[in-house]
A and B are shown apart, each in its own frame.
Chain A
Amino acid sequence: MALQVNIKDILSQLSQHRGVVEFLFANRENITVNELLAREDISHDQFQKLKSLDLVYEYENIVSLNDAVVSMFEDFMEIGEVTPGFINDYINELNRHIRFYQESRENRFLRSIKKYLKRINSTLTREIIKLQKNVDDTYKNEGNYRIKLQKLENFREKRDTIIDFIKKTNDVVESTRSLFSLTNDSELFGIVQALKVSLIENLDFLIEIQTDITDFINKIQFQLDVYKKAQQLKEIKDYGTLYFKSNFKEIVNGINSIKYNGHRAPKTKIAIDFLYSDDGHVLCKRISEKYKITRLMVRGLADKMAGNFKDKGLEHQIKLDTEKLVERFLEQKKSNLFEYLIEYKFPKAIGIVSFEDRLSLFVEIAMEYQNQLDFKYRLQYHDYRNNEKQNKRLGYTLILPIKEKAKKEKIKN
């Protein structure tokens, strides 16, 4: 370090220039001094200050964050490169500190032990995730066969190394069990417990990776073999000896896929009834256009039915009935029109005729058949309950069937 610095200075510098730090962290390799100084949030002096604190480096006009800062961020966010070497270092350090702790039971050694146990745990997991990803990527994306095989081989070695580390870690944890239980430290206990669980888990992952690698290698091998075979077959085929030097004929004969045995997909005739439907008409029209047959184009589509055609049908029916209804009403003499309509039992086909419908029917008949009706111009009252169960009273005009005499008079008028 160029200057004697303390945490306070570093923190205040970092937080003062957090925009710059974030920027440099994101673009680690390719920021020039001019680019950086073009930003509004840093002046030349401030840049010099950062440099003097060794928080940033400048080399051949390229600015970069201090590696320590970068790796702090990376460690904290668990990103960035890790290599099996790290794990080895951690295990050595762990062993060293355990020895120290065995010598003298001081808390500072215990703290380091905890630190390294935690680090081993997180690094192992990251390493395995990375391995898995690399194996997958290599199998799927590496175009060159030989390189692919080589890479997968390397991953296999790497996997073995990691398994070694897991075993080592396990040994360390096992052998220090009595020592750790002496410390009576619940945090340490928790860390060891978590580490053990994740060691077992990671071992499982590694076995899976191993199966993947083997599987991939075998697949590649199979494909290589097949391609070699294909080339050989092609060669003897070119010599015209394919049928004689191989069992090609028998193999092909034994192929049972329906595609190669002349089994056609089942075809069905179109049902006549379908042709009469509207969909069938569309089909006919298409065919007629294709083959220019006018005969098929004669029948047109029916117009679209109105959306409310069902309601219309109902009204229509009621209307049809009104004439007969009026006739029947005229033939009887017991009740007036209103009472007659309210009491009337409509045929079931119409469905339920509500009170409101009967009322509108009453008004309709009164208006349309006024010549055949005797209007008394007297009010009568009808009591009923509406939907909300309130008692209501309705006044209506008394209308009676016209009497024969009156009828004649009315016609005369």
Chain B
Amino acid sequence: MMEDKLDDLYGYVQERCLWQFFSRSWDRQENIDGVLGQAEAILSGNPPARGTPMEKLFYVDARTMVDDFRARFPWIRESSPEEVKQLMDGLKSRLVETVITKSTNRELKHHLY
């Protein structure tokens, strides 16, 4: 069941979200951590941090994603904070594997932009 839900979320992010494909591995990791962290807060009913420019950026990407999650996958509205955390951790793990650790993009680790 959890795997099916993760498939839904992962499929959405792969198709819609440009932030997972930034130029370098550290940008991708920063975005995945930042956006999914904000998404977890929103989905759990906690106020997302919006104090710094980067927090605001992650918030707007997370908010769009969460709105679409709720529209496309109604089950997520019923998810408890514990389940939300599990889902976001699982999603993070899959994204990191696809776009960082197992990506064959030869430019990901170049130290310059």
To the question of whether A and B form a pair in one complex, the answer is no
Residues on B close to A: CB < 8 A?
A: none
